[in-house]
Amino acid sequence: MEHQIRIAASGDLENIVAIIESGRAYLKTQGLPQWQNGYGPNREEAAADIERGRGYVLAIAGKAVGYASLIPGPEGSPALSEGVWAGGEEHYTTIHRVALETSVRGSGLSRAFLEGLIQAARTLGYSDIRIDTHPENVIMQKAIDKTGFTYAGIMQLPIPEGERWAYQLLVD
């Protein structure tokens, strides 16, 4: 499928919100507590990401079908409660809020989207890229693994069911 990964624009916000809600519903059908009960990405966070130039979309024929953000550290993630990050602790970025529209799930675009986000992070000067997901989100774990990330440890978000498995990719 021909796709493009680009910085999100304000005109993408409605599609982004729909993508996030689709992701939230999908996680619920999988029995995952991630993004449920008022926790997880929302319109305000997506709008702030766009305003700061941190939001990215996966687009097909110009329409956003995937969304994620690149958040610079240390704002990007809490410290690990178990495990250790390789390399420095200051200059890194974290991929957050990864979601795909229902119509493109299972098409291999999640891997392509993550690879594009890695390239965007590199273009921004980051060689330390991080990502995390719920311990039961096996589908996301597979996409993370396929893009070369390695398991770094466990972090605890300050929310119910906040345990997350953290991964890191160091690039040249």
Q: Which two tokens stand for residue 143?
A: 């996409």
| Domain residue ranges of the chain, discontinuous segments joined by + | 4-170
CATH of domain 4-170: 3.40.630.30
H helix runs in the chain, sequence order: 13-29, 43-52, 109-123, 138-146
Task: Return per-residue pLDDT of the chain as tens, 172 residues.
Answer: 689 999 999 999 999 999 999 999 999 999 999 999 999 999 999 999 999 999 999 999 989 999 999 999 887 677 899 999 997 667 899 999 999 998 887 777 899 999 999 999 999 999 999 999 999 999 999 999 999 999 999 999 988 888 999 999 999 8
Task: Report the 10 Å Cβ neighbour count for 25.
Answer: 13
